[in-house]
Amino acid sequence: MARSLKDTLLSAGLAFLLSIAGYPAQADKSLTLGIQILPPTLGNPHQNVSLPGTLPLQAIFDTLTRIGADGSPGPALATAWEMEDQNKWVLSLRRHVVFSNGEPFDAEAVSAAFKYLLSDEGKSETIGTHLSRIGVIGAEPRDSHTIAITTAKPNAILPIHLDFVRIPAPRHFAILGPKAFALDPIGSGPFTVRDWKNGRIHLTANTSAWRPPALDEITLVQLDDPAARVQGLLSGSLDVAFNVAAEDKFSVEAAGGRIVTYANPSVAYIQFITAKESPLADVRVRRALNYAVNRDLLLTVMFDDAIPPSSQVAHPLAFGFNPALEPHPHDPERAKALLVEAGYADGFDIVMVAASAGASDDQAHQQIAADLALIGVNMEIRRTTFGKYLEYMYQTGWPDPVVAFSMVTSGFDPMHGYRTRSCKWSPVYYCDQAIMPLIDAAESAADPEVRRQLVGEVLAYERDNPPGLFKWQSPAFDALAARVTSYAVEADVLSFHTLDVAN
């Protein structure tokens, strides 16, 4: 009998775990962490903005600012900042910091990083693209530990965006160039890379770090299948199984471990395509589909009520999140009435594309499709590769008959999502001219509180004129062995320097 893909992946994962179990015994102060993917760009500090792709980078590099538990920017490599004028922020930098190769951290190091990111080559990097979009045009040292960042337009919340900017050792980066540096990354973080190969990264403590780690060594192992990560934890091959399912709680706790639950700073939803002729171009239809889905039941069954349904395309820590907005209630009768009003009493068919994802995403989409079917809307789910998904989004546009696709927006600035979800994006898929002046006003506001109010108004408009089907903030469940202590993920960052193991 042919084996299923899941069985094949699980067997491959278990074989890998058996292989790493054969390595020599590690130091007492060490642990092994299993994650679903290692960054394909290796140690490039200027790629990846969210977990799990940023996980190794968080151990190696430091960012300029650090988002705190309340969503506001706090000190990291920058210790203080002020808006000197509408187009300039001045940052004070942390003193007595060195990179793991001995190079000093100073304003010249920050300037070098920005000069690369704002160059033609650097603008092709994820972080370089982001800096260009928010209007950053330069970064010049004022003295050894003060730097001025200039923007082409007012940006009242620039320090929030500096949470993405990782600073590499400047001379090492200049000598090697971006590609070679990714193979030999040097930062000021709590760990350095000893070796990176065969789906495995071995990190050792950076004894010169300004945040010295409690551990001597950490090994990151790529295991695509979540069942393999759980099995690795239960067998003792792993100390941490990153991003497992909520239902794994019972087996993990039975083995003496525990599950840590938290919400990622990202919001999942199904984006509607209104640039094509389809029923979704009618706002009454888009509202109807939101009323049709029983999110509360779905979240109870799938995620043990770890997170609530979304009322907006923003999470509670995002700047401008509007707490006055309520999620669309489950009201299938109201949904049917809206379809009748819009002229679709007999329902209609739609095609939605989802990139390859975990079992929980597939389960959620299937249940959403089942709820929509009850009001006469038949949603066909077509899966594609992540590469093809990006091609549709950034190059070719969405092919017929696709009129919806799964989407996640990340970060602490909700306006970042409008880089693609607006009339300005090409190839355009969603355009609501009525909201464009409000978007422009919010993004150009020089006063933080004015911007906060305007962002809230943008989100309120979208609550009533939904661009898609609201889902929820992305939950995360990490499984830990009993020996793991001081494990904390805050605002999408794992605290590597405090991570420890019990004696």
Long-range contacts of residues 10-16, Cβ cutoff 8 Å, at least 24 apart: 10/225, 10/227, 10/228, 10/231, 12/225, 12/228, 13/223, 13/224, 13/225, 13/227, 13/228, 13/229, 13/231, 13/232, 14/228, 14/231, 16/199, 16/221, 16/223, 16/228
Which pTM value belongs to this model? 0.86
Domains of the chain and CATH, by start: 5-61+189-257+481-501 (3.40.190.10), 65-172 (3.40.190.10), 264-474 (3.10.105.10)
Instruction: Look at residue 6 in the predicted model and tell me its pLDDT.
Output: 44
The whole-chain average pLDDT of the chain stands at 91
- Residue 490 pLDDT greater than 70, yes or no: yes
Q: Quick one: average pLDDT of 396-424? A: 92
Q: Which helix (H) or strand (E) holds 85?
A: strand 78-85
Q: What is the pLDDT of residues 196-235, one digit of tens each?
A: 988 899 999 999 999 999 999 999 999 988 899 999 999 9
Instruction: Look at residue 358 in the predicted model and tell me its pLDDT.
Output: 57
Asked if the bond preceding 427 is cis, omega within 30° of 0, the reply is: yes
Tell me the residue type at 213: P
Cα-Cα-Cα-Cα dihedral sign, residues 128, 133, 136, 137: positive
- Distance in angstroms (rounded) separating the CA atoms of residues 20 and 237: 8
Q: Quick one: average pLDDT of 171-196? A: 96
Long-range contacts of residues 335-341, Cβ cutoff 8 Å, at least 24 apart: 335/288, 335/289, 335/291, 335/292, 335/375, 336/288, 336/375, 336/376, 338/284, 338/285, 338/287, 338/288, 338/291, 339/284, 339/285, 339/288, 339/375, 339/376, 339/377, 341/284
The secondary structure of 448-466 as a DSSP string is HHHHHHHHHHHHHHHHHS-
- Residue 493 pLDDT greater than 70, yes or no: yes
